[in-house]
Amino acid sequence: MASTAFSLSLPTFPSSSSTVKAKPSIFSHHLLFIAKNVPSSSLFSSSTRTTKQIRTAFKIKCSSASFSNTLPSALLFDCDGVLVDTEKDGHRVSFNDTFNEKELGVTWDVDLYGELLKIGGGKERMTAYFNKTGWPDKAPKSEEERKEFIASLHKRKTELFMALIENRLLPLRPGVAELIDQALGEGVKVAVCSTSNEKAVSAVVSCLLGPERAEKIQIFAGDVVPRKKPDPAIYTLAANTLGVEPSSCVVVEDSAIGLAAAKAAGMTCIVTKSGYTADEDFLNADAVFDCIGDPPEERFDLAFCGSLLEKQMEEGSGRFY
Give the DSSP H/E element, type plus range, for residue 161. helix 143-166
For 38, 75, 244, the CA distances from 305, given in Å and listed in that order, are 21, 9, 16
Q: How far apart are CA 108 and CA 95, in angstroms?
A: 8
- Altogether, the residues listed in the chain come to a count of 321
Given a contact cutoff of 8 angstroms between Cβ atoms, the answer to whether 267 and 237 are in contact is no
Q: Is 80 a catalytic residue?
A: yes
Beta strands, E only, the chain = 74-77, 189-194, 217-221, 249-253, 268-272, 287-289
Catalytic residue among 80, 231, 254, 301: 80
Catalytic residue among 78, 231, 254, 301: 78
Is-catalytic flag, 78?
Answer: yes
* Ordered strands of the 249-253 beta sheet: 217-221, 189-194, 74-77, 249-253, 268-272, 287-289
- Active-site residues: which are they? 78, 80
